[in-house]
Amino acid sequence: MDEQDFRRRADAALEVLKRSLYAAEGDADFEVEENSGALHISFEEPPGRFVISPNSPVRQIWISALSTSFKLDWSEEKQDFVLSKTGEALKPLVARLINEQIGGGTVTLG
């Protein structure tokens, strides 16, 4: 995948994720902001911050969350960015991380 193709896919994936996060903001105590092409999710209780951003040189979407870095690669099969270690796609992974951060919960990103 060339850089232009990566950018197109990453931008589309992050836009869909952003809309889902905005819709879920009312269900849990977090706030979503977009800054320089990255999504920032801030939590009040317990305090925390996630950053989700495209990394063009390696053609991955990176998530910094729960003191860990998650690196997602494009999957032709799933037509989504996927964490190869678990097979989770972007939205289900972010939902799981949010639920871990808030201590349970049932945040889903439809």
User: Which residues make beta-bridge pairs with 88?
Assistant: 83
pTM of the model: 0.93
- Residues 22-32: pLDDT tens digits? 998 876 789 99
User: Which residues make beta-bridge pairs with 32?
Assistant: 41
Q: Which domains does the chain have, with CATH numbers?
A: 3-101 (3.30.920.10)
d(CA 22, CA 3): 28
Which residues, given as ranges, of the chain have pLDDT below 70?
Answer: 27
pLDDT of residue 103: 86
User: Which residues make beta-bridge pairs with 83?
Assistant: 72, 88
